[in-house]
Amino acid sequence: MAYGKTEVIAAGLEAAAAEMCASLIRTAYSPNVKERADCSTAVCDMQGRTLALATHAPAHLGSTLMLVPAILERFPVDTLRDGDIFFANDPYIVGVTHLNDCTLAAPVFVDGRAVAFVAAVAHHSDVGGRVPGSESGDSTSIYQEGIRVPPVRLYQGGELRRDVLEMFLVNSRTPHFSEGDILAQRAATASGIQRMREIYSRYGSVVVEQAIGEILDATERRMRARIRETLKEGTYSAEDWLDEDGISNRPVHLAATLTVADGEVVFDFSGCDRQIGSGKNIPYTHTMATVYYCLKAIVDPGLSINEGMYRPVRAIAPVGSVVNPRPPGGVGSRNLTSMILADVMMDVLGQAAPQRAMSPAGPYQGIILSGPDPRHDRFYVDYENFAGGHGASRSGDGMDGTQIHMTNTSNLPIEVMEVEFPVRVERYELLTDTGGAGLHRGGCGVSRELRILAQGTVLAVRSARQVYPANGRDGGSPGSLGAYYLETGTTAREKLHSTISERALYAGDLLRIITPGGGGMGDPMHRAAALVARDVTEGLVSAGAAQNLYGVVVSPEGGKVDLVETERLRAAPRAG
Protein backbone atom coordinates (compact mmCIF):
# COMPACT_ATOMS: atom_id res chain seq x y z
CA MET A 1 0.00 0.00 0.00
CA ALA A 2 1.24 3.50 -0.76
CA TYR A 3 2.66 5.18 2.32
CA GLY A 4 0.61 8.34 1.78
CA LYS A 5 -2.70 6.49 1.75
CA THR A 6 -1.90 4.83 5.08
CA GLU A 7 -1.08 8.22 6.57
CA VAL A 8 -4.37 9.68 5.32
CA ILE A 9 -6.35 6.80 6.84
CA ALA A 10 -4.46 7.18 10.13
CA ALA A 11 -5.29 10.89 10.19
CA GLY A 12 -8.91 10.07 9.35
CA LEU A 13 -9.22 7.73 12.33
CA GLU A 14 -7.79 10.33 14.68
CA ALA A 15 -10.01 13.03 13.19
CA ALA A 16 -13.07 10.81 13.71
CA ALA A 17 -12.25 10.41 17.41
CA ALA A 18 -11.55 14.13 17.81
CA GLU A 19 -14.80 15.12 16.09
CA MET A 20 -16.72 12.72 18.32
CA CYS A 21 -15.25 14.37 21.41
CA ALA A 22 -16.03 17.86 20.13
CA SER A 23 -19.61 16.79 19.45
CA LEU A 24 -19.93 15.30 22.93
CA ILE A 25 -18.72 18.45 24.67
CA ARG A 26 -20.80 20.84 22.53
CA THR A 27 -24.05 18.91 23.02
CA ALA A 28 -23.65 17.79 26.66
CA TYR A 29 -26.00 19.04 29.37
CA SER A 30 -24.01 18.79 32.61
CA PRO A 31 -21.29 21.32 33.53
CA ASN A 32 -19.04 18.35 34.21
CA VAL A 33 -18.94 17.52 30.50
CA LYS A 34 -19.87 20.70 28.63
CA GLU A 35 -17.57 22.93 30.74
CA ARG A 36 -14.98 20.69 32.41
CA ALA A 37 -14.69 18.26 29.45
CA ASP A 38 -14.48 15.18 31.66
CA CYS A 39 -14.96 12.85 28.71
CA SER A 40 -13.20 10.94 25.96
CA THR A 41 -14.01 9.17 22.70
CA ALA A 42 -12.44 6.27 20.86
CA VAL A 43 -12.44 4.10 17.76
CA CYS A 44 -11.71 0.37 18.15
CA ASP A 45 -11.64 -2.52 15.70
CA MET A 46 -13.64 -5.72 16.12
CA GLN A 47 -10.72 -7.32 17.97
CA GLY A 48 -10.98 -4.61 20.60
CA ARG A 49 -7.74 -2.92 19.58
CA THR A 50 -7.68 0.84 20.12
CA LEU A 51 -7.30 2.60 16.75
CA ALA A 52 -7.66 6.21 17.89
CA LEU A 53 -8.43 7.93 21.17
CA ALA A 54 -9.36 11.54 21.89
CA THR A 55 -8.97 11.94 25.63
CA HIS A 56 -9.36 15.03 27.75
CA ALA A 57 -8.66 12.98 30.88
CA PRO A 58 -5.68 10.58 30.60
CA ALA A 59 -7.47 8.34 33.09
CA HIS A 60 -9.70 7.31 30.17
CA LEU A 61 -6.73 5.81 28.30
CA GLY A 62 -7.64 2.47 29.86
CA SER A 63 -11.35 2.63 29.10
CA THR A 64 -11.08 0.76 25.79
CA LEU A 65 -8.77 -2.07 26.90
CA MET A 66 -11.60 -4.47 27.82
CA LEU A 67 -14.63 -2.77 26.28
CA VAL A 68 -15.20 -4.50 22.93
CA PRO A 69 -14.37 -8.06 24.12
CA ALA A 70 -16.76 -7.57 27.05
CA ILE A 71 -19.56 -6.52 24.68
CA LEU A 72 -18.95 -9.32 22.19
CA GLU A 73 -18.80 -11.92 24.95
CA ARG A 74 -22.42 -11.10 25.76
CA PHE A 75 -23.58 -10.08 22.27
CA PRO A 76 -21.83 -12.15 19.58
CA VAL A 77 -21.08 -10.44 16.27
CA ASP A 78 -23.87 -12.23 14.42
CA THR A 79 -26.44 -10.76 16.85
CA LEU A 80 -25.35 -7.14 16.32
CA ARG A 81 -27.57 -4.85 14.28
CA ASP A 82 -27.01 -1.50 12.65
CA GLY A 83 -28.30 1.12 15.11
CA ASP A 84 -27.38 -0.86 18.23
CA ILE A 85 -25.75 1.18 21.01
CA PHE A 86 -24.49 -0.45 24.19
CA PHE A 87 -24.29 1.12 27.63
CA ALA A 88 -21.89 0.01 30.40
CA ASN A 89 -20.03 1.43 33.38
CA ASP A 90 -18.60 -1.46 35.44
CA PRO A 91 -14.79 -1.26 35.84
CA TYR A 92 -14.48 -4.95 36.62
CA ILE A 93 -16.36 -5.97 33.46
CA VAL A 94 -15.74 -3.34 30.75
CA GLY A 95 -12.68 -1.62 32.16
CA VAL A 96 -13.92 1.95 32.58
CA THR A 97 -12.13 3.28 35.61
CA HIS A 98 -15.07 3.89 37.98
CA LEU A 99 -18.84 3.78 37.86
CA ASN A 100 -19.28 7.48 37.04
CA ASP A 101 -17.48 6.99 33.71
CA CYS A 102 -20.51 5.76 31.79
CA THR A 103 -19.77 4.54 28.28
CA LEU A 104 -21.82 4.26 25.10
CA ALA A 105 -20.38 2.04 22.36
CA ALA A 106 -21.83 1.38 18.92
CA PRO A 107 -20.83 -1.04 16.15
CA VAL A 108 -20.05 0.47 12.77
CA PHE A 109 -21.64 -1.41 9.86
CA VAL A 110 -20.30 -1.23 6.31
CA ASP A 111 -22.03 -3.26 3.57
CA GLY A 112 -23.90 -5.24 6.19
CA ARG A 113 -20.78 -6.18 8.16
CA ALA A 114 -19.64 -4.88 11.55
CA VAL A 115 -16.14 -3.47 11.01
CA ALA A 116 -15.44 -1.37 14.11
CA PHE A 117 -16.79 0.12 17.32
CA VAL A 118 -16.97 3.78 18.31
CA ALA A 119 -17.23 4.69 21.98
CA ALA A 120 -17.98 7.79 24.05
CA VAL A 121 -17.04 7.99 27.74
CA ALA A 122 -18.47 10.70 30.00
CA HIS A 123 -18.22 11.23 33.73
CA HIS A 124 -21.81 11.43 34.99
CA SER A 125 -22.44 13.65 38.00
CA ASP A 126 -24.19 10.94 39.99
CA VAL A 127 -24.84 7.23 39.43
CA GLY A 128 -26.43 6.43 42.79
CA GLY A 129 -24.72 4.81 45.75
CA ARG A 130 -24.46 5.81 49.37
CA VAL A 131 -23.32 9.41 48.85
CA PRO A 132 -24.21 12.14 46.35
CA GLY A 133 -21.74 12.27 43.50
CA SER A 134 -21.08 8.52 43.93
CA GLU A 135 -17.34 9.10 44.42
CA SER A 136 -16.24 8.64 48.00
CA GLY A 137 -12.88 7.64 49.39
CA ASP A 138 -14.45 5.96 52.41
CA SER A 139 -16.83 3.60 50.62
CA THR A 140 -15.93 0.06 51.59
CA SER A 141 -17.03 -1.72 48.41
CA ILE A 142 -18.13 -0.99 44.87
CA TYR A 143 -21.71 -1.81 45.90
CA GLN A 144 -21.76 1.48 47.81
CA GLU A 145 -20.55 3.49 44.81
CA GLY A 146 -23.58 3.34 42.56
CA ILE A 147 -25.41 1.24 40.01
CA ARG A 148 -23.24 -1.33 38.21
CA VAL A 149 -24.16 -1.86 34.58
CA PRO A 150 -22.59 -4.59 32.44
CA PRO A 151 -22.96 -4.17 28.67
CA VAL A 152 -26.65 -3.75 27.83
CA ARG A 153 -28.40 -2.60 24.67
CA LEU A 154 -29.58 0.95 25.22
CA TYR A 155 -30.57 1.35 21.57
CA GLN A 156 -31.69 -1.67 19.58
CA GLY A 157 -31.68 -1.20 15.82
CA GLY A 158 -31.84 2.56 16.40
CA GLU A 159 -34.77 2.42 18.83
CA LEU A 160 -34.27 3.58 22.42
CA ARG A 161 -35.01 0.96 25.06
CA ARG A 162 -36.76 3.21 27.54
CA ASP A 163 -36.84 0.55 30.24
CA VAL A 164 -33.03 0.37 30.28
CA LEU A 165 -32.71 4.17 30.31
CA GLU A 166 -35.23 4.45 33.14
CA MET A 167 -33.39 1.78 35.14
CA PHE A 168 -30.27 3.95 35.03
CA LEU A 169 -31.93 7.33 35.55
CA VAL A 170 -33.96 6.29 38.61
CA ASN A 171 -30.69 5.39 40.32
CA SER A 172 -29.23 8.86 39.73
CA ARG A 173 -29.76 11.91 41.91
CA THR A 174 -29.22 14.08 38.81
CA PRO A 175 -31.28 12.41 36.06
CA HIS A 176 -31.70 15.76 34.28
CA PHE A 177 -27.93 15.90 33.75
CA SER A 178 -27.53 12.21 32.96
CA GLU A 179 -30.28 12.03 30.35
CA GLY A 180 -28.88 15.05 28.53
CA ASP A 181 -25.35 13.65 28.61
CA ILE A 182 -26.48 10.25 27.32
CA LEU A 183 -28.09 11.97 24.35
CA ALA A 184 -24.83 13.85 23.78
CA GLN A 185 -22.92 10.56 23.91
CA ARG A 186 -25.33 9.11 21.36
CA ALA A 187 -24.67 12.11 19.10
CA ALA A 188 -20.95 11.48 19.47
CA THR A 189 -21.29 7.85 18.38
CA ALA A 190 -23.39 8.96 15.39
CA SER A 191 -20.58 11.30 14.35
CA GLY A 192 -18.03 8.50 14.68
CA ILE A 193 -20.12 6.06 12.65
CA GLN A 194 -20.53 8.60 9.87
CA ARG A 195 -16.81 9.35 9.66
CA MET A 196 -15.82 5.68 9.75
CA ARG A 197 -18.25 4.87 6.95
CA GLU A 198 -16.78 7.68 4.88
CA ILE A 199 -13.28 6.24 5.33
CA TYR A 200 -14.43 2.75 4.29
CA SER A 201 -16.45 4.12 1.40
CA ARG A 202 -13.51 6.08 0.03
CA TYR A 203 -10.84 3.38 0.28
CA GLY A 204 -12.69 0.07 0.58
CA SER A 205 -12.60 -2.49 3.38
CA VAL A 206 -9.50 -4.36 2.16
CA VAL A 207 -7.38 -1.21 1.94
CA VAL A 208 -8.60 0.23 5.26
CA GLU A 209 -8.06 -2.96 7.23
CA GLN A 210 -4.61 -3.45 5.72
CA ALA A 211 -3.82 0.16 6.62
CA ILE A 212 -4.95 -0.40 10.21
CA GLY A 213 -2.39 -3.17 10.62
CA GLU A 214 0.33 -0.95 9.15
CA ILE A 215 -0.69 1.98 11.38
CA LEU A 216 -0.46 -0.08 14.56
CA ASP A 217 2.87 -1.59 13.49
CA ALA A 218 4.27 1.86 12.68
CA THR A 219 3.23 3.19 16.08
CA GLU A 220 4.89 0.20 17.74
CA ARG A 221 8.13 0.77 15.83
CA ARG A 222 8.16 4.45 16.75
CA MET A 223 7.46 3.69 20.40
CA ARG A 224 10.30 1.16 20.57
CA ALA A 225 12.66 3.61 18.86
CA ARG A 226 11.78 6.39 21.30
CA ILE A 227 12.31 4.07 24.26
CA ARG A 228 15.78 3.19 22.95
CA GLU A 229 16.64 6.83 22.26
CA THR A 230 15.30 8.29 25.50
CA LEU A 231 15.66 5.73 28.29
CA LYS A 232 18.94 4.26 29.52
CA GLU A 233 18.78 0.49 29.85
CA GLY A 234 18.75 -0.70 33.45
CA THR A 235 16.53 -1.10 36.50
CA TYR A 236 15.24 1.81 38.57
CA SER A 237 13.06 2.04 41.68
CA ALA A 238 11.05 4.70 43.53
CA GLU A 239 8.32 4.99 46.15
CA ASP A 240 5.88 7.49 47.63
CA TRP A 241 2.88 7.55 49.94
CA LEU A 242 -0.83 8.29 49.66
CA ASP A 243 -1.80 10.24 52.79
CA GLU A 244 -4.32 7.76 54.15
CA ASP A 245 -6.47 4.81 53.13
CA GLY A 246 -9.87 6.52 53.32
CA ILE A 247 -11.10 4.76 56.46
CA SER A 248 -8.19 5.34 58.83
CA ASN A 249 -5.06 7.46 59.03
CA ARG A 250 -2.86 4.63 57.75
CA PRO A 251 -0.77 5.78 54.76
CA VAL A 252 -0.74 3.71 51.59
CA HIS A 253 2.62 2.66 50.14
CA LEU A 254 3.05 3.00 46.37
CA ALA A 255 6.20 1.75 44.65
CA ALA A 256 7.44 0.94 41.17
CA THR A 257 10.46 -0.73 39.65
CA LEU A 258 11.19 0.04 36.00
CA THR A 259 13.26 -2.25 33.79
CA VAL A 260 14.34 -0.93 30.38
CA ALA A 261 15.84 -3.34 27.85
CA ASP A 262 15.96 -3.56 24.05
CA GLY A 263 13.18 -1.08 23.31
CA GLU A 264 10.78 -2.47 25.89
CA VAL A 265 9.80 -1.46 29.41
CA VAL A 266 8.42 -3.40 32.36
CA PHE A 267 6.83 -1.65 35.34
CA ASP A 268 6.69 -3.85 38.45
CA PHE A 269 4.23 -2.71 41.13
CA SER A 270 4.77 -5.67 43.45
CA GLY A 271 6.01 -3.27 46.15
CA CYS A 272 2.64 -1.52 46.41
CA ASP A 273 0.36 -2.17 49.36
CA ARG A 274 -2.29 -4.82 49.27
CA GLN A 275 -5.83 -3.91 48.31
CA ILE A 276 -7.35 -1.49 50.80
CA GLY A 277 -10.85 -1.46 52.23
CA SER A 278 -11.99 1.76 50.62
CA GLY A 279 -12.72 3.38 47.27
CA LYS A 280 -9.09 4.45 46.81
CA ASN A 281 -8.04 1.27 44.99
CA ILE A 282 -6.94 1.67 41.36
CA PRO A 283 -8.61 -0.77 38.93
CA TYR A 284 -6.19 -2.52 36.60
CA THR A 285 -7.22 -0.60 33.48
CA HIS A 286 -6.66 2.69 35.29
CA THR A 287 -3.23 1.48 36.40
CA MET A 288 -2.41 0.70 32.77
CA ALA A 289 -3.72 4.10 31.69
CA THR A 290 -1.31 5.67 34.19
CA VAL A 291 1.54 3.58 32.78
CA TYR A 292 0.78 4.58 29.18
CA TYR A 293 0.33 8.25 30.06
CA CYS A 294 3.62 8.54 31.99
CA LEU A 295 5.65 6.69 29.36
CA LYS A 296 4.16 8.70 26.50
CA ALA A 297 4.75 11.99 28.33
CA ILE A 298 8.43 11.21 28.83
CA VAL A 299 9.48 9.44 25.62
CA ASP A 300 7.15 10.83 22.92
CA PRO A 301 4.34 13.26 23.81
CA GLY A 302 3.31 13.52 20.14
CA LEU A 303 2.83 9.79 19.63
CA SER A 304 -0.58 8.64 18.38
CA ILE A 305 -2.61 6.74 20.96
CA ASN A 306 -3.44 3.31 19.61
CA GLU A 307 -2.77 -0.33 20.37
CA GLY A 308 0.68 -0.15 18.78
CA MET A 309 1.77 2.19 21.57
CA TYR A 310 0.87 -0.47 24.14
CA ARG A 311 2.86 -3.35 22.67
CA PRO A 312 6.37 -2.58 24.05
CA VAL A 313 4.95 -2.04 27.55
CA ARG A 314 4.30 -4.60 30.26
CA ALA A 315 3.14 -4.15 33.83
CA ILE A 316 3.28 -6.50 36.81
CA ALA A 317 0.34 -5.57 39.03
CA PRO A 318 -0.45 -8.39 41.48
CA VAL A 319 -4.13 -9.28 41.76
CA GLY A 320 -5.41 -8.18 45.14
CA SER A 321 -3.12 -5.18 45.37
CA VAL A 322 -4.09 -1.51 45.54
CA VAL A 323 -3.20 -1.24 41.83
CA ASN A 324 -5.24 -4.28 40.75
CA PRO A 325 -8.03 -4.97 43.27
CA ARG A 326 -10.38 -7.90 43.32
CA PRO A 327 -14.12 -7.22 43.17
CA PRO A 328 -16.01 -5.97 45.06
CA GLY A 329 -13.23 -3.60 46.14
CA GLY A 330 -14.19 0.06 45.98
CA VAL A 331 -12.57 2.12 43.21
CA GLY A 332 -14.68 5.29 43.07
CA SER A 333 -11.95 7.61 44.37
CA ARG A 334 -9.12 5.89 42.50
CA ASN A 335 -7.81 8.92 40.63
CA LEU A 336 -5.89 10.61 43.43
CA THR A 337 -4.16 7.33 44.25
CA SER A 338 -3.11 7.13 40.61
CA MET A 339 -1.76 10.70 40.83
CA ILE A 340 0.78 9.62 43.45
CA LEU A 341 1.48 6.45 41.45
CA ALA A 342 2.15 8.67 38.42
CA ASP A 343 4.68 10.68 40.45
CA VAL A 344 6.39 7.40 41.35
CA MET A 345 6.53 6.40 37.68
CA MET A 346 7.80 9.83 36.68
CA ASP A 347 10.55 9.33 39.25
CA VAL A 348 11.76 6.02 37.78
CA LEU A 349 11.43 7.34 34.23
CA GLY A 350 13.39 10.44 35.27
CA GLN A 351 16.16 8.17 36.54
CA ALA A 352 16.24 6.44 33.16
CA ALA A 353 16.04 9.77 31.27
CA PRO A 354 17.70 12.37 33.55
CA GLN A 355 17.33 15.13 30.97
CA ARG A 356 13.54 14.74 31.19
CA ALA A 357 13.25 14.28 34.95
CA MET A 358 10.36 15.97 36.73
CA SER A 359 9.67 16.63 40.40
CA PRO A 360 6.45 15.34 42.00
CA ALA A 361 3.40 17.53 41.62
CA GLY A 362 0.54 18.88 43.71
CA PRO A 363 -2.63 17.04 42.63
CA TYR A 364 -6.12 18.49 42.67
CA GLN A 365 -8.20 18.72 45.82
CA GLY A 366 -11.70 17.51 45.01
CA ILE A 367 -15.05 18.47 46.46
CA ILE A 368 -18.61 17.36 45.88
CA LEU A 369 -21.32 19.73 47.10
CA SER A 370 -24.88 18.46 46.92
CA GLY A 371 -28.36 19.12 48.18
CA PRO A 372 -31.62 20.83 47.28
CA ASP A 373 -31.33 23.84 45.00
CA PRO A 374 -34.28 26.13 45.75
CA ARG A 375 -33.62 28.25 42.65
CA HIS A 376 -34.14 25.37 40.23
CA ASP A 377 -36.36 23.22 42.48
CA ARG A 378 -34.19 20.13 42.05
CA PHE A 379 -31.34 18.25 43.67
CA TYR A 380 -27.87 19.36 42.61
CA VAL A 381 -24.43 17.75 42.59
CA ASP A 382 -21.45 20.07 42.10
CA TYR A 383 -18.42 17.90 41.30
CA GLU A 384 -15.22 19.93 41.11
CA ASN A 385 -11.46 19.38 41.15
CA PHE A 386 -9.27 22.37 42.03
CA ALA A 387 -5.83 22.35 40.44
CA GLY A 388 -2.51 22.29 42.31
CA GLY A 389 1.00 23.08 41.12
CA HIS A 390 3.04 21.14 38.58
CA GLY A 391 6.43 19.81 39.56
CA ALA A 392 9.50 21.57 38.18
CA SER A 393 11.49 19.87 35.42
CA ARG A 394 15.05 19.97 34.13
CA SER A 395 14.00 22.52 31.54
CA GLY A 396 11.87 24.94 33.53
CA ASP A 397 9.47 25.87 36.30
CA GLY A 398 6.36 23.90 37.06
CA MET A 399 3.11 25.44 35.88
CA ASP A 400 0.99 27.23 38.48
CA GLY A 401 -2.58 26.18 39.18
CA THR A 402 -2.83 23.40 36.62
CA GLN A 403 -4.33 19.94 36.49
CA ILE A 404 -1.67 17.25 36.40
CA HIS A 405 -1.19 13.69 35.27
CA MET A 406 -4.41 11.66 35.17
CA THR A 407 -6.79 14.61 35.37
CA ASN A 408 -6.77 17.15 32.57
CA THR A 409 -10.23 18.58 33.00
CA SER A 410 -10.89 22.25 32.44
CA ASN A 411 -11.39 24.87 35.11
CA LEU A 412 -15.11 25.39 35.75
CA PRO A 413 -15.73 29.12 35.18
CA ILE A 414 -16.95 30.96 38.25
CA GLU A 415 -19.93 32.36 36.34
CA VAL A 416 -21.05 28.86 35.37
CA MET A 417 -20.65 27.52 38.90
CA GLU A 418 -22.75 30.33 40.35
CA VAL A 419 -25.47 29.97 37.72
CA GLU A 420 -25.72 26.18 38.00
CA PHE A 421 -25.29 25.72 41.77
CA PRO A 422 -26.28 27.56 44.98
CA VAL A 423 -22.76 28.71 45.87
CA ARG A 424 -20.87 31.99 45.58
CA VAL A 425 -17.15 32.19 44.83
CA GLU A 426 -15.67 34.86 47.11
CA ARG A 427 -11.98 34.32 46.47
CA TYR A 428 -9.88 32.50 43.88
CA GLU A 429 -6.14 33.08 43.74
CA LEU A 430 -2.69 31.62 43.34
CA LEU A 431 -1.01 31.17 46.72
CA THR A 432 2.36 32.73 47.51
CA ASP A 433 5.26 30.45 48.54
CA THR A 434 3.43 27.21 47.75
CA GLY A 435 5.70 26.05 44.91
CA GLY A 436 8.86 24.28 46.05
CA ALA A 437 11.99 26.42 45.81
CA GLY A 438 14.67 25.40 43.34
CA LEU A 439 16.81 26.32 40.38
CA HIS A 440 13.47 25.71 38.71
CA ARG A 441 10.52 26.53 40.95
CA GLY A 442 7.61 24.18 41.54
CA GLY A 443 4.18 25.37 40.47
CA CYS A 444 2.04 27.22 43.01
CA GLY A 445 -1.24 25.92 44.36
CA VAL A 446 -4.47 27.89 44.56
CA SER A 447 -7.06 28.90 47.12
CA ARG A 448 -10.77 29.01 46.43
CA GLU A 449 -13.39 30.19 48.91
CA LEU A 450 -17.01 29.11 48.43
CA ARG A 451 -19.94 30.62 50.31
CA ILE A 452 -22.77 28.12 50.76
CA LEU A 453 -26.14 29.65 49.83
CA ALA A 454 -28.62 26.81 50.39
CA GLN A 455 -29.72 24.90 53.47
CA GLY A 456 -29.34 21.13 53.41
CA THR A 457 -25.99 21.15 51.59
CA VAL A 458 -23.73 18.14 52.09
CA LEU A 459 -19.97 18.11 51.47
CA ALA A 460 -17.70 15.26 50.36
CA VAL A 461 -13.97 15.76 49.82
CA ARG A 462 -11.13 13.70 48.38
CA SER A 463 -7.50 14.67 48.26
CA ALA A 464 -3.83 13.76 48.34
CA ARG A 465 -0.67 15.52 49.53
CA GLN A 466 -2.18 16.89 52.69
CA VAL A 467 0.35 14.84 54.69
CA TYR A 468 3.11 13.80 52.27
CA PRO A 469 4.24 16.76 50.14
CA ALA A 470 5.51 16.73 46.57
CA ASN A 471 9.23 16.43 47.28
CA GLY A 472 11.85 18.37 45.36
CA ARG A 473 14.69 16.84 43.36
CA ASP A 474 18.42 17.53 43.27
CA GLY A 475 18.31 20.03 46.11
CA GLY A 476 14.88 21.47 45.36
CA SER A 477 12.38 22.04 48.18
CA PRO A 478 9.02 20.28 48.55
CA GLY A 479 5.81 21.99 47.59
CA SER A 480 3.29 23.06 50.21
CA LEU A 481 0.51 20.81 51.50
CA GLY A 482 -3.16 21.01 50.58
CA ALA A 483 -5.97 21.55 53.10
CA TYR A 484 -9.69 22.16 53.59
CA TYR A 485 -11.01 24.74 56.06
CA LEU A 486 -14.57 25.48 57.13
CA GLU A 487 -15.80 28.68 58.77
CA THR A 488 -19.29 28.82 60.24
CA GLY A 489 -21.18 31.48 62.13
CA THR A 490 -20.78 29.64 65.44
CA THR A 491 -17.29 28.11 65.37
CA ALA A 492 -13.76 29.20 64.65
CA ARG A 493 -12.08 28.06 61.45
CA GLU A 494 -11.98 24.26 61.40
CA LYS A 495 -9.51 22.16 59.45
CA LEU A 496 -11.34 19.26 57.82
CA HIS A 497 -10.08 15.72 57.34
CA SER A 498 -8.68 14.83 53.93
CA THR A 499 -11.44 12.27 53.26
CA ILE A 500 -15.07 13.10 54.07
CA SER A 501 -18.24 11.82 52.51
CA GLU A 502 -21.22 13.37 54.34
CA ARG A 503 -20.46 16.60 56.19
CA ALA A 504 -23.51 18.81 56.69
CA LEU A 505 -23.11 22.46 55.68
CA TYR A 506 -25.46 25.37 56.22
CA ALA A 507 -26.31 28.53 54.37
CA GLY A 508 -23.66 31.13 55.16
CA ASP A 509 -20.82 28.66 55.77
CA LEU A 510 -17.53 29.42 54.03
CA LEU A 511 -15.47 26.55 52.60
CA ARG A 512 -11.84 27.22 51.74
CA ILE A 513 -9.93 24.80 49.50
CA ILE A 514 -6.13 25.02 49.41
CA THR A 515 -4.31 22.95 46.82
CA PRO A 516 -0.72 21.66 47.15
CA GLY A 517 2.28 23.01 45.29
CA GLY A 518 4.75 21.15 43.10
CA GLY A 519 8.27 20.21 44.11
CA GLY A 520 11.26 22.31 43.06
CA MET A 521 14.20 21.12 40.93
CA GLY A 522 17.82 21.95 41.71
CA ASP A 523 19.54 24.24 44.22
CA PRO A 524 17.45 27.41 44.75
CA MET A 525 20.66 29.37 45.41
CA HIS A 526 21.47 28.93 41.72
CA ARG A 527 18.22 30.40 40.44
CA ALA A 528 18.74 33.60 38.47
CA ALA A 529 18.13 36.60 40.72
CA ALA A 530 16.04 38.25 37.99
CA LEU A 531 13.66 35.26 37.98
CA VAL A 532 13.31 35.40 41.76
CA ALA A 533 12.56 39.14 41.51
CA ARG A 534 9.92 38.43 38.87
CA ASP A 535 8.31 35.81 41.15
CA VAL A 536 8.21 38.35 44.00
CA THR A 537 6.64 40.99 41.74
CA GLU A 538 4.01 38.51 40.55
CA GLY A 539 3.18 37.41 44.10
CA LEU A 540 4.37 33.82 43.64
CA VAL A 541 7.27 34.16 46.10
CA SER A 542 7.38 36.45 49.14
CA ALA A 543 10.30 38.80 49.75
CA GLY A 544 11.09 36.82 52.89
CA ALA A 545 11.21 33.48 51.03
CA ALA A 546 13.30 35.09 48.29
CA GLN A 547 15.88 36.04 50.90
CA ASN A 548 15.73 32.91 53.07
CA LEU A 549 15.36 30.21 50.40
CA TYR A 550 16.94 31.78 47.32
CA GLY A 551 19.47 34.16 48.89
CA VAL A 552 18.07 37.05 46.87
CA VAL A 553 17.21 40.37 48.47
CA VAL A 554 14.30 41.96 46.61
CA SER A 555 12.47 45.18 47.30
CA PRO A 556 8.82 44.10 47.63
CA GLU A 557 7.65 47.47 46.30
CA GLY A 558 9.79 47.99 43.23
CA GLY A 559 10.92 44.41 42.68
CA LYS A 560 14.56 45.49 42.41
CA VAL A 561 17.38 43.16 43.42
CA ASP A 562 19.94 44.38 45.96
CA LEU A 563 22.95 42.93 44.14
CA VAL A 564 25.48 43.55 46.91
CA GLU A 565 23.41 41.93 49.65
CA THR A 566 22.37 39.08 47.35
CA GLU A 567 26.00 38.30 46.54
CA ARG A 568 26.83 38.29 50.24
CA LEU A 569 23.98 35.92 51.08
CA ARG A 570 24.74 33.57 48.22
CA ALA A 571 28.47 33.53 48.89
CA ALA A 572 28.04 32.34 52.48
CA PRO A 573 26.42 28.95 51.65
CA ARG A 574 28.95 28.38 48.84
CA ALA A 575 31.84 29.09 51.21
CA GLY A 576 30.35 26.68 53.73
The predicted pLDDT at position 478 comes to 98
- What is the per-residue pLDDT for 412? 86
pLDDT tens track for 338-369: 999 999 999 999 999 999 999 999 999 999 99
276: closest CA among 338, 344, 324?
324
pLDDT above 90 (res 469) = yes
The pLDDT value given to residue 574: 58
Q: What percent of the chain has pLDDT over 70?
A: 99
Q: Which residues contact 415 (CB under 8 A, 6 or more apart)?
A: none
Q: What is the pLDDT of residues 525-543, one digit of tens each?
A: 999 999 999 999 999 999 9
Question: What pLDDT band is residue 58 in, cutting at 50, 70 and 90?
Answer: confident
User: Does residue 211 contact residue 170 with C-beta atoms inside 8 Å?
Assistant: no
Quote the DSSP letter at residue 359: -
pLDDT digits (tens, 9 = 90+) for 166-214: 999 999 999 999 999 999 999 999 999 999 999 999 999 999 999 999 9
Distances (CA, A) of 86 to 228, 354, 556: 40, 45, 60
Candidate from 354-363, 372-381, 549-558 with smallest mean pLDDT: 549-558
Dist CA 516 CA 27 (whole Å): 34
Report phi then psi at 153, rounded to 5: -75, 115
Distance CA 344, CA 351 (A): 11
On average, the pLDDT of the chain sits at 95
What does the pLDDT look like over 139-162, one tens digit per residue? 999 999 999 999 999 999 999 999
Domains, the chain, ranges and CATH?
A: 3-221 (3.30.450), 358-527 (no CATH), 536-575 (no CATH)
Instruction: State the pLDDT at residue 15.
Output: 97
Task: Kindly tell me if the per-residue pLDDT of 576 is higher than 50.
Answer: no
pLDDT at 558: 73
Instruction: Taking residues 75-98, report their average pLDDT.
Output: 96
Walk across the sheet containing 234-242 and list its strands: 234-242, 252-261, 264-268, 313-316
164 compared with 410, residue with greater pLDDT: 164
Percent of the chain with pLDDT strictly greater than 90: 91
> Would the pLDDT of 575 be above 60?
no
Q: Are 60 and 101 in contact (CB under 8 A)?
A: yes
The whole-number pLDDT of residue 212 equals 97
**Total count of residues recorded for the chain:** 576
CA-closest candidate to residue 104, choices 47, 171, 178: 178
Q: What distances in angstroms separate CA 46 from CA 52, 67, 117, 119, 525, one per listed residue? A: 13, 11, 7, 12, 57
Give the pLDDT band (50/70/90) at residue 4. confident
Among 38-47, 52-61, 391-400, 449-458, whose mean pLDDT is lowest? 52-61
Instruction: Please state the pTM of the whole predicted model.
Output: 0.95
Residue 432 contacts residue 47 (beta carbons within 8 Å): no
Instruction: Yes or no: say if 119 and 103 are a contact pair by the CB < 8 Å rule.
Output: yes
| Sheet arrangement for strand 113-123 | 50-55, 39-45, 113-123, 101-110, 85-88, 152-156, 159-160
pLDDT value for 327: 96
Element (H, E) at 469: none
Counting Cβ atoms within 10 Å, is residue 170 exposed (0-12), middle (13-18) or buried (19+)? exposed
Check: CB of residue 135 under 8 Å from CB of residue 333.
yes
pLDDT at 3 (0 to 100): 58
> Among 63, 64, 87, which Cα is nearest to 75's?
87
